[in-house]
Amino acid sequence: MSSRIPGAAEAFGESSRTSGDCSRTSGDSSRTSPAPNSSGGDGQLTGRTVVVTGAGRGIGLAVVEAFLAAGAHVVAGSRERTEALDRHVKRGAELTVVELDLATPDGPNALIAEAVALHGGLDVLVNNVGAVRPRVDGFLSVTDEDWDWTFTVNLMAAVRTTRAALPHLLATGAGRVVTVSSVNGRLPDPLVIDYSAAKAALTSFCKALSKEVGPRGVRVNTVSPGPVETALWQGAGGVAATVGQSRGVDPREVARGAADQSVTGRFTRPSEVADLVLYLAGPSAANITGADFVIDGGLVESL
């Protein structure tokens, strides 16, 4: 299997079904932001408002859990309520779950509006929504509709959510945007030809935006995982299963082959990606902007 395939599916797609339903179980919803440079780990995000897209499972869920542990108010955008999110809600976490379709023009605006209405503003945006469909039949099988879908989910959802969030992030004087991209932005592969192009565009978008808004206090960075231990990669109907079926190979063999292509010989854990996202939202990364952080176990060989 190509060395470029493993990074194709790090972000779980949470971008179908639009709903106005939201559920929130938290105490005081008033905005109690700490000083602009006090956000980060070890409870220093207490009172901050964080929006996470694609939050129902995988990397998105891990990011939600990391920010909750750090004391933030978290608004989770997801196409559906998952059991994992509901467990946090039921135990009284400072978590709001908003069910909506981030692949629609109106979904991102609705998510940000909900967060601002609940908490009076916004401090951190984590763009995680994304999805991949391996193109096992080659480039000529990829239709215009396929390209539109891939770019809508993997690029335009982040563009629209960032556009809706940016006025509120600028208002804080210290807003942060962390976007989950992919090593496929650096390692284009024909099996995920449209996804690779979309992720390259996503990383480029964030780099360009960082130059515009950095002088106004907003930091914009990307995180580019390689293969991650998620159902999208390893579950039924995931990348390993799809590739395995097309090649007559056991999906477990596909996954093992992908892991073996990294220096560490394993997939990245969702919590490891979440820790990096949390770091980039915190004070230790105060002078980091416009950067792309690869977390792939050494898969990418270029400097």
Q: Per-residue pLDDT tens for 105-145?
A: 999 999 999 999 999 999 999 999 999 998 989 999 999 99
Q: How far is CA 223 from the centre of its chain?
A: 9
Global pTM value: 0.86
Residue 250 confidence (pLDDT) above 80? no
What is the band of 262 on the pLDDT scale with cuts at 50, 70, 90?
confident
Residue 69 pLDDT? 96
Which residue of the set 67, 149, 195, 279 is catalytic?
A: 195
Residue 283 confidence (pLDDT) above 60? yes
pLDDT in tens, 207-247: 999 999 999 999 999 999 998 988 667 777 777 777 787 78
Q: Domain 6-227+270-285 sits in which CATH superfamily? A: NAD(P)-binding Rossmann-like Domain (3.40.50.720)
Q: Is 279 a catalytic residue?
A: no
Contact 182, 8 (CB under 8 A): yes
